[in-house]
């Protein structure tokens, strides 16, 4: 397959956002307002700390800030909607006031509706629309939607996950879930897919999904990947801890961009932007 055919040839359009996803890329900065996320849990307990980090990521190149009030690390317990809303509302209001595009990392329709009402523009649903009423809310607000693949729930997803054909199974699941979203009235151009790196996958599954990213392109949606400091990087690099996984993150990010992914959810916005600019420059040379 030629490099030109790997480009997504699509846009991500929703109320408040319009992004070209051909040879460009988007950086989504991770802002976890949780006490127990696997890498940055507990770092941003106050509004001031959260806003400082968000503005830093925007200055470094983040196009979108993805705010979460529930950890989805392996083994994490489900957090009630009311607590999520309490954790994230004030920060999201402030980000919106600052003119920053906000994505909300939630699988709860109550959280999604409340945050869209105060100005968030995107719902990032790691459950892959586990609540089938979620698309109706997203459609009503004209918001963007990220549909992610997960096997199980965050609490159970790493309890011996198994696939016969990883890429095919994940792709078919995403096909069905995006059909649900479109049937609910969401414009296809407002939908992004995410194969769900680390969500109910073994290390070899994650590597295969990244290696064969281009196989998801014929679903017709832009592709987002959340590779940032995930545990599979530790598995391939002699047990590295999350704080030691930046180099592996950037290597996988550049390779995934070459294979057609265009949106990257990351803790390290500045470094990711530099890696993607380098990958883009190489691909542009190869296209000449």
Q: Rounded to whole angstroms, how far apart are CA atoms 48 and 40?
A: 16
Q: Rounded to whole angstroms, how far apart are CA atoms 8 and 5?
A: 8
- Known catalytic residue: 230? yes
* Contacts within 8 Å (CB) and 24+ apart, 130-133: 131/107, 132/180, 133/109
Question: Can you say whether residue 51 is alpha, beta or left, with left for phi > 0 and alpha for psi between -120 and 50 degrees?
Answer: alpha
Catalytic residue among 230, 259, 262, 273: 230
Local structure of residue 59 (DSSP, 8 states)? H
Catalytic residue among 73, 229, 259, 265: 265
Which uninterrupted H or E stretch holds 19?
strand 17-20
Encoding tokens for residue 87? 């954790």
Which uninterrupted H or E stretch holds 31?
strand 26-32
Q: Rounded to whole angstroms, how far apart are CA atoms 278 and 232?
A: 24
Encoding tokens for residue 5? 């055919």
- Known catalytic residue: 114? no
Catalogue the active-site residues. Answer: 230, 265
């Amino acid at each position: 397959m030629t490099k030109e055919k790997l480009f997504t040839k699509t846009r991500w359009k929703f109320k408040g956002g319009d992004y070209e996803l051909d040879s460009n890329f988007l950086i989504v900065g991770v802002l976890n307002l949780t006490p127990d996320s696997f890498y940055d849990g507990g770092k941003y307990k106050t509004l001031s700390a959260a806003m400082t980090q968000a503005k830093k990521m925007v200055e470094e190149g983040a196009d979108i800030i993805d705010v979460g009030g529930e950890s989805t690390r392996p083994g994490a317990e489900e957090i009630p909607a009311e607590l999520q809303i309490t954790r994230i509302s004030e920060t999201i209001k402030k980000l919106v006031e600052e003119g920053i595009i906000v994505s909300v990392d939630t699988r709860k329709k109550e959280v999604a509706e409340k945050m869209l009402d105060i100005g968030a523009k995107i719902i990032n649903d790691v459950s892959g629309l586990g609540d089938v009423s979620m698309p109706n809310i997203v459609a009503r607000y004209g918001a963007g939607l990220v549909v992610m693949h997960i096997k199980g729930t965050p609490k159970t997803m790493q309890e011996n996950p198994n696939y016969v054909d990883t890429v095919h199974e994940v792709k078919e699941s995403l096909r069905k879930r995006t059909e649900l979203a479109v049937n609910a009235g969401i414009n296809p151009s407002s939908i992004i897919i995410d194969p769900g790196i680390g969500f109910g996958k073994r290390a070899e599954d994650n590597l295969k999904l990244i290696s064969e990213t281009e196989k998801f392109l014929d679903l017709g949606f832009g592709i987002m990947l959340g590779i940032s400091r995930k545990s599979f990087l530790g598995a391939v690099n002699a047990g590295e801890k999350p704080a030691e996984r930046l180099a592996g993150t950037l290597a996988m990010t550049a390779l995934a961009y070459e294979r057609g992914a265009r949106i990257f959810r990351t803790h390290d916005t500045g470094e990711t932007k530099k890696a993607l600019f380098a990958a883009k420059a190489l691909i542009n040379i190869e296209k000449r």
